[in-house]
Amino acid sequence: MRPAHVTILASLLLAASPPGLAATGDGAGALPAALAARAQSCAACHGPEAAAEMPIIGGQHAAYLYLQMRDYQSGNRADPRMAGAVDGLDRDQLIALARHFAADPWPANGAEPAGQSARQQARSAISAGECSQCHLGGFKGDSRVPRLAGQREDYLHATLLAFKHGGRSNSPAMADLMAGFSDEEIAAMAAYLAGYRDDASP
Amino acid sequence: MRPLPRALIAALALAAATTVAAAGETDSSAHYADLHNVTQDMLDRAGSNANAFLHTNANYRQTRFYPARQIDRRNVHELVPAWRFETAVDESFETTPLVVGDTLYLTTAFDHVYAIDAASGKEKWHYKHDMGLITTYCCGPNNRGVAAWHDRLFLGTLDAKLVALDAASGKVLWQTQIADPELGYSETMAPTVVDGKVLIGTNGGEYGVRGFVKAFDADSGKLLWTFHTVPEKGHTGVWATHDPTGRELGRDIAAEKALLKKNGGDFYKTLGGGVWQNPAVDRETGLVWFVVGNPSPDLYGDYRPGDNLYTNSLVAIDLDSGKYQCHFQFVPHDVWDLDSTSPPIITHTVNGDGKTVKAILHGSKTGYVYVNDASDCSLIRHSEPMVAQDGRWTQPTSDGVRMLPGANGGVEWSPMAVDESRHLVYAVNLHQPMTYRVNKQDYPHGRLWLGGAFKLVPGAEQWGNITAVDYATGKIAWKVKTEQPMIGGVLATAGDLLFTGEGNGWFRAYDSATGERLWQYQAKAGVNAPPVSYNVGGTQYVVVAAGGNTQLDYPRGKTLLAFKLGGRD
């Protein structure tokens, strides 16, 4: 079921050619030439044809992107692929990259709104966890709190489980919160958030 | 001293109102050089000026009592929309507008400021703060208002700056960095200005900051003094075993002392203690009164043995020097986030010996109103509990325990109001059972640091209430139950009215003597901001922001609503 969506999504995205992932971009996202080449290399994993478990970074908040890259560098968030991808970059370069990708429009992820039972379960979990207290109305996030709405489902699912089971340790608050949810509730929340539309009331 | 009789207050207010209204028709300079120039004298007399709303909480004593009565309990049913103003920001709306002359100053989430014609609702200018890369805040991108002084306004921002704006144009006069947002400092409160000093606290009790109140020079932006809400020495306090209502806190004091001995007391640097809301200023004594929020991390106490002074306390400092005068702690060694955020009120009441003394009122997340003696901070009395207390002071465990009040209170940041002729104080409350789970966490350098998690109990019924407490006795005079937990605050008026809004969009007026509901309006977004009132051109307006709330997830909006009596212009 999902692979079909991914294919459709990929072709949609290719047609739209998001500025940050395709070219050096300009305006808020402009980069010096050396960094521009580095930014190109991110597309292999985060670009339109990325695998379903790769997070969308174009259109995410700059502060959040910067802090994650900083954490990959320090090992505070552990992932060998990402550690390699940001190796050797200094703070200003990380911030420049973060601003560059943040300036992109958020791409459509092609996900369908979650089905009836997942939606119900997700809404009740989300209300108990007061997610919008931090992730804000529409789960759009701000600054160091990431946008969740329209993120890829497989990635959301994996990272929520990583919070819960200790694989992602750079946010103790999210880890503690997830420890109180069942794996089933987590799966429902991932599906719901990936398919979340602004017009579908939360 | 007894409070002034109601009739006298009303007469005084009326006299003030007519003087200024008449002046407005001829030449405003006849009485005040310039109505837009907010003098110290105007700020001092704001409590009896029905034409303006010059302080976030109405006056330096923070009574939130509007002194005139064109709108009263007999005619309030004729209240109709006068105008509405749509802002550009569709997010949590916790702000209190100020009204200076014929101009209303409004702030929104993400630190926009608008100047609006107070009679017509037309925009004069719009300022949008250029936000820094990193902001760190819990509970929504809120802003609760500006302060006005001379020709300028002061705004605290989410990226922890203090900005001075030209009130006539909205242009930036100066700005200064208050603290480092990457470490969890942010500003959502309105500053308070007095004698050329801009007073401002900080958020950050959820991030391991070291809280403070700072004073900046209103002309230049220069830092004048800093009072740290957590002292380097003495934060361990008296190792209290009970809270001031007499309940056992369930602390293991011996274990705490052992931890202190083993790990030392250096944790004061990250002990939290935010100051979320405006201080009250006593113009007779020159003391600044404020309440201090929770210790960091919220739920995990082993990191911070001792009483954690001055968290969860009422504190008085000297306006000129910022030096400590006295304190009173409501919750020693808090591990429940049942802290203090609602702004304190200065009033008078009888003490235990029947003598009338100056007193400070504070409504806490514990769901009690505390009445303290302004001469030495000591407790005179506390109210009956305004919300159910099931398992209060149950120590959180790693498996989770149920707590009521939950982490939002009781009384959250919502300002209270008083009607001194009745010695009633009005508070809005939440009833929200929560599960507390504790977990050891080391200081995460600016990341959220709760030391566990609070979760609403799924399926458990929640509600709220509006409670009138007789602060001369501590008895509850009346209580109205609301459909949802309450957040936003109240306004009392000389028209025997109480105004407050709800998350479900209802903005309502009550009889302040009895709690009888007299009027309502459906705003289509949560009404979770403190209402204000003023008089322009002979017409009394009641104004409130309707934009919902992030913390309680009430429906968002972006509208400021103004009401007046039907058939008036």
> Tens of pLDDT along B348-407?
999 999 999 999 999 999 999 999 999 999 999 999 999 999 989 999 999 999 999 999
Beta-carbon contacts of A94 under 8 Å, excluding residues fewer than 6 positions away, are A66, A69, A70, A73, A86
Chain A residues inside the 8 Å CB shell of B453:
173, 176-177, 179-180
SS (H, E, C) B471-496: CCCCCEEEEEEECCCCCCCEEEECCC
Distances (CA, A) of B99 to B41, B104, B118, B130, B153: 16, 4, 7, 25, 12
Q: Do A143 and B136 touch (CB under 8 A)?
A: yes
**B458 and A124 in contact by Cβ < 8 A?**
yes
- Cα B174 to Cα B189: distance, rounded to the nearest angstrom: 19
% pLDDT > 90, chain B: 90
Q: Of A102, A128, A143, which residue is a domain's last?
A: A102
Q: Which of residues 397-416 of B touch A (CB under 8 A)?
A: 400
Residue A107 domain flag: no
DSSP state of B188: -
Considering only B21-25, B131-135, B321-325, which range has the smallest mean pLDDT?
B21-25
> Residue length, chain B?
569
Inter-chain touch B456–A128, beta carbons under 8 Å: yes
Six token digits for residue B426: 């009005």
Does the CB of A11 have a partner CB in chain B at under 8 Å?
Answer: no
Enumerate residues 21 to 60 of chain A having a beta carbon within 8 A of any beta carbon in chain B.
Answer: none
A120 and A92 in a common domain: no
pLDDT at B115 over 70: yes
Closest partner residue to A137 (CB to CB) among B139, B458, B556 is: B556
d(CA B176, CA B160): 9
DSSP code at position B556: P
Distances (CA, A) of A132 to A137, A138, B131, B144, B318: 6, 8, 21, 20, 39
Backbone φ and ψ of A80, nearest 5°? -60, -35
| A123 & A172 share domain | yes
Is residue A96 one of the residues assigned to a domain? yes
Residues A121 and A186 reside in one and the same domain: yes
Residue A167 lies in a domain: yes
Domain contains A53: yes
User: Is B337 designated active site?
Assistant: yes
Give residue-wise pLDDT tens across range B221-247.
999 999 999 999 999 999 999 999 999
pLDDT recorded at residue A28? 57
Arithmetic mean of pLDDT, B156-165: 98
- Per the model's pLDDT, the better-predicted residue between A55 and B12 turns out to be A55
Instruction: Give me the number of domains chain A comprises.
Output: 2
Per-residue pLDDT reduced to its tens digit, B135-155:
999 899 999 999 999 999 999
Q: B425, B264, B441, B311: which is closest to B359 by C-alpha?
A: B425
pLDDT exceeds 70 at position A202: no
A132 touches chain B (CB under 8 A): yes
Which residue does chain A place closest to B407, by CA atoms? Answer: A130
Q: Three-state SS string across B387-448, please?
A: CCCECCCCCCECCCEEEECECCECCCCCCCEEECCCCEEEEEEEECCEEEEECCCCCCCCCC
Put simply, the chain B residues between 450 and 489 with a CB less than 8 A from any chain A CB are 450, 452-453, 455-458
The pair of structure tokens assigned to B559 is 């509208």
Residue A201 scores a pLDDT above 70: no
Asked if the C-beta of A146 comes within 8 angstroms of chain B's C-beta atoms, the answer is: no
Q: How confident is the model at residue B34 (pLDDT cuts 50, 70, 90)?
A: low
Task: Say if residues B482 and B526 touch (Cβ distance below 8 Å).
Answer: no
Pairing of strands B463-470, B476-482: antiparallel
Report the pLDDT value the prediction gives residue A32, as an integer from 0 to 100.
Answer: 87
Average pLDDT of chain A is 85
My answer on whether A90 and A153 are in the same domain is: no
Residue A120 shares a structural domain with residue A98 = no
Report which DSSP code applies to A54. S
Of A38, A68, A102, which residue constitutes the final position of a domain? A102
Share of chain B above pLDDT 70, in %: 93
Q: What is the pLDDT of residues B407-426, one digit of tens each?
A: 999 999 999 999 999 999 99
Check CB contact under 8 Å for A177 and B553.
no
Q: Are residues A81 and A152 in the same domain?
A: no
- pLDDT, position B445: 87
On average, the pLDDT of chain B sits at 93
Whether residue B297 is preceded by a cis peptide bond, meaning omega within 30 degrees of 0, is yes
In a domain, A3, yes or no: no
A69 has pLDDT over 60: yes
Are A121 and A88 found together in one domain?
Answer: no
CA A103 from chain center: how many Å? 14
Give the residue ranges of DSSP H helices in chain A. 2-16, 19-22, 33-46, 62-74, 80-85, 91-102, 116-128, 131-135, 153-165, 172-178, 183-194
**Of the residues A70, A102, A134, the one at which a domain ends:** A102
DSSP B293-349: --BSSSS--TTS-S--TTTTEEEEEETTT--EEEEEESSTT-SS-----SPPEEEEE
Q: Are residues A57 and A85 in the same domain?
A: yes
CA of B370 vs chain A CAs: smallest distance (Å): 29
Q: Is the pLDDT of residue B7 over 70?
A: no
Same domain, A161 and A85: no
Q: What angle do CA B152, B158, B162 make, to 5 degrees?
A: 30
The yes-or-no verdict on residue B18 having pLDDT over 70 is: no
Contact B439 A127 (CB under 8 A): no
Q: Is the pLDDT of residue B462 over 90?
A: yes
- Residue B538 contacts A, CB cutoff 8 Å: no
Q: Both tokens of residue B232?
A: 């380097």
B543: β partners: B532, B562
Determine the residue of chain A that is closest to B433 in CA distance: A128
Mutate to test the interface with A, among B447, B524, B556 (most CBs of A within 10 A): B447
Q: How many CA atoms lie within 13 A of B393 on its CB side?
A: 17
Residues B453, A180: C-beta atoms closer than 8 Å: yes
Tokens, residue B339: 């802290």
pLDDT in tens, B171-203: 999 999 999 999 999 999 999 999 999 999 999
A108 lies in a domain? no
Boundaries of domain holding A56: 18-102
Task: Find out whether B24 and B538 touch, Cβ atoms under 8 Å.
Answer: no
Question: What's the pLDDT score for residue A21?
Answer: 41
Q: Determine the Cα–Cα distance for residues B243 and B66; give it in Å rounded to an integer.
A: 34
Catalytic residue among B282, B307, B337, B339: B337
Distance CA B533, CA B79 (A): 13
**B56 close to B147: Cβ distance less than 8 angstroms:** yes
Considering the domain architecture, whether residues A58 and A96 belong to the same structural domain is answered as yes
Q: Are residues A147 and A89 in the same domain?
A: no
**What span, in angstroms and rounded, lies between the C-alpha atoms of B124 and B218?**
24
When computed from its CA atoms, the radius of gyration of chain B, rounded to whole angstroms, is 22
Test B141 with A142 for CB contact under 8 angstroms: yes
Question: B90 and chain A: CB distance < 8 Å anywhere?
Answer: yes
- The CATH number that applies at residue A95 is 1.10.760.10
pTM for the full model? 0.90
Residues A120 and A96 in one domain: no
* Nearest alpha carbon to residue B224 among B322, B101, B358, B299: B322
Distance of residue B439 Cα from the nearest chain A Cα, in angstroms:
7
Are A73 and A30 a contacting pair, CB within 8 Å?
Answer: no
Using the 8-state DSSP alphabet, how is residue A160 labeled? H
Return the higher-pLDDT residue of B32 and B471: B471
**A94-134 confidence digits (pLDDT tens):** 999 999 999 999 999 989 999 999 999 999 999 999 899 89
Confidence of residue B3 (pLDDT cuts 50, 70, 90): very low
Q: A123 lies in a domain?
A: yes
Residue A148 falls inside a structural domain = yes
CB nearest A130 (choices: B134, B456, B457):
B456
- Res B36: pLDDT: 77
